[in-house]
Amino acid sequence: MDEMTVGRHKRTRFWAVRDAAGELICLCVYKRGALEVARRLTSAPASSDCYLRETPPEPAREPARALSNTACQGE
């Protein structure tokens, strides 16, 4: 089977297991469980992580700036 990726699902606490095409296979509560699902689907030995990779985290967004009272009043 192709390479699987394990990474955060959107901006939640859940972990997504995706195939090489990026299609969602399953969601897990724990990262350890997601890695185990990916390992079993790739039939890799328990000590081998060569077929699995974690996707890098998404860059943090800048927080929205608060509008001042004058901007809200249209002045």
The span from the CA of 33 to the CA of 38, in Å, is: 9
Pairing of strands 24-28, 15-18: antiparallel
Answer yes or no: are the C-beta atoms of 17 and 25 closer than 8 Å.
Answer: yes
Share the mean pLDDT of the chain: 79
Looking at per-residue confidence, does 46 or 41 come out higher?
41
For the cut 80, the answer to whether the pLDDT of residue 74 exceeds it is no
Which band of pLDDT confidence, cut at 50, 70 and 90, is reported for residue 52?
Answer: low
Per mean pLDDT, which range of 14-23, 29-38, 39-48 is the poorest?
Answer: 39-48
**Strand order through the sheet with 15-18:** 24-28, 15-18, 4-8, 52-54
